[in-house]
Structure 1
Amino acid sequence: MTKDEFLRRFQLQCRPQVKRPQWANMRQAAVLVPILEQADGLHIILTRRSQNLRHHAGQISFPGGRYDETDHSLFQTAVREAQEEIGLPPQAIELVGCLSDYPVISNFIVRPFVALVQPGFKLRANPAEVSEIFTVPINEVLQQQQHFVYRLPRFLYDRVYFIPYQERTIWGATAGMLRELADHIYPDQQRLHKEIL
């Protein structure tokens, strides 16, 4: 998928109507869904969280974190955290839009901001927060027929998504956000997935 095709699909199609559970006193957080244009197409930048972190240690995630009182907006939170975690310069980030707020079991309500990232810089992991930085082709992870879903009755969600890519498995909130982005970009394939029994 080219950048122009992605932007056309993202901006011209209606965002999926997503209902997610929320409860009182959730803390605000934000993540950046950074999309990088490379020679072979668009790639999404992902991280693996450090094993030393209190929440979601070792999981694959987007760069991001909790809202700070010094932040002027949740988007600034996402940009600040991306710079702190992976060295992404703010001037390289172009906001495209946002996805629906996503509550997580660590009592945060997370707002995902979709952004295009200009190439020409070197990413560097902050070892206190990130153990690995990698990219995945957008065409690989936004194919709903390659998504697995596990149903969990009476849990925070009624389903948890898993997206395999090479030797990695993206799951939980990150996979849920990617799933919403996929449903936005390819609305005619929203019903596609594979059940995990």
Structure 2
Amino acid sequence: MKKLALILSLVVTVASAQEACKPLPTFSLKATDGKTYTQKEFASRPTVVVFLKKGCPHNPKSAPDFNKLPGLLTNKVNVVAITDADLETAKKYAKEIKLNLPLLADPKLSVIKAFGAKRSLDMAITCAHDKMVAQMWEGYSQDSLKSLVASLPGHGGPSVKPDLSSFPAKKQSGCPFGM
């Protein structure tokens, strides 16, 4: 009976994990670092994706936090941001808010929609193993970042224990994309 309960529990866990994941969208976006990013870069290792609505007043306060992520994640995880602007506007905006991450230009919001981001400061993580969008977070906080960090080993990433105390305790959420 215990074995049956364990098996049923595993089946339910696997089924709900699959429902939470969705295929990585096919895309090609130019970025502020001069590169063109495709879903292949996101599938090579786990990638944290931060979504930024152009002009949202919450972005300048949050950019320093997002700039810290690559170092906190021991540079073994890709970290990029995607914005709803054309490339030239994205370049100016990245300088304006002092964002050091590659900022990918998605003026038609096709990739933003495909990921399921609703607002600025939403985050996602991709799974390197199966080329999936593994999880989405609405906004960010210490708790959402702890959840993200805890999920890394299951998505092909490192096991790390970064100090997240400088990140906001309360969830920060930005402007809606207006889709």
TM range (shorter): under 0.3
Whose Rg is larger?
2
For normalisation by structure 2, the TM-score amounts to 0.25
